[in-house]
Amino acid sequence: MNTAERLIESTRELLWDRGYTATSPKAILQRAGVGQGSMYHHFTGKADLALAAIRCSAEEVKEEAEQRLSSSGTSLDRIASYSAGASDVLRGCPVGRLTADPEIVDDDRMRQPVEETFAWLQQRLTAVLSEGQEGKDEGDALDPADTAAAILAVVQGGYVLARASGSAASFDQAVNGLLSMLNRLAA
């Protein structure tokens, strides 16, 4: 990785773990193993670097979701694959966690990639559900857009429940309940 990439990656990890306010430029520089001049050579400041990191995290979340939602199987199989979440649910979603940070939510530029990521996820889930209805993988009792919003809410809420309880079992229970409902409605 070059210096700019190390700075972005370090910022991504710190934002995910600490949030924007608790992520200092000093911590970023230490984690990246670079000097202060390097940060300001590549970025205008902490906010500019954070925006690059948020965009990078957003792209990673979309790429992982696309991989799961494009896998083989029925639409419900693909929804189940997406809903399984990351391997470390206790860390939460690297984009979803940013919504709890007032400085990110209050800044239109930093909030934009977060908002766009969730809009993209909802549209992609809607498309998968619509494909399932066309292919008769599922019944047409469910509105694809509303169901996609519910799936996204359950997955993101599952991360919150897991973090609150300190146990991935809370995430698993939320997702299993969602999938059970979807399977029953599809039958």
Q: 9 Cβ partners below 8 Å, 6+ apart?
A: 1, 32, 53, 56
Name the average pLDDT for the chain.
92
Query: How far apart, in Å, are the Cα atoms of 12 and each of 19, 81, 93, 160?
Result: 9, 25, 12, 19
Residue pair 114/104 in contact (Cβ under 8 Å)? The answer is yes
Residue pair 142/129 in contact (Cβ under 8 Å)? The answer is yes
pLDDT band at 171 (very low <50, low <70, confident <90, very high): very high
User: In this predicted model, what pLDDT tens digit does every residue of 152-169 receive, in sequence order?
Assistant: 999 999 999 999 999 999
User: In this predicted model, what pLDDT tens digit does every residue of 102-152 receive, in sequence order?
Assistant: 999 999 999 999 999 999 999 999 999 999 887 665 556 789 999 999 999
pLDDT band at 88 (very low <50, low <70, confident <90, very high): confident
CATH (one of 3.40.1010.20, 3.30.360.10, 3.30.300.130, 1.10.357.10) for 3-186: 1.10.357.10
The model's pTM? 0.91
161 HSE (CA, 13 A, CB side): 14
* Token pair for 9: 């990656």
Q: Where are the domains of the chain?
A: 3-186
Among 99, 80, 94, which Cα is nearest to 176's? Answer: 80
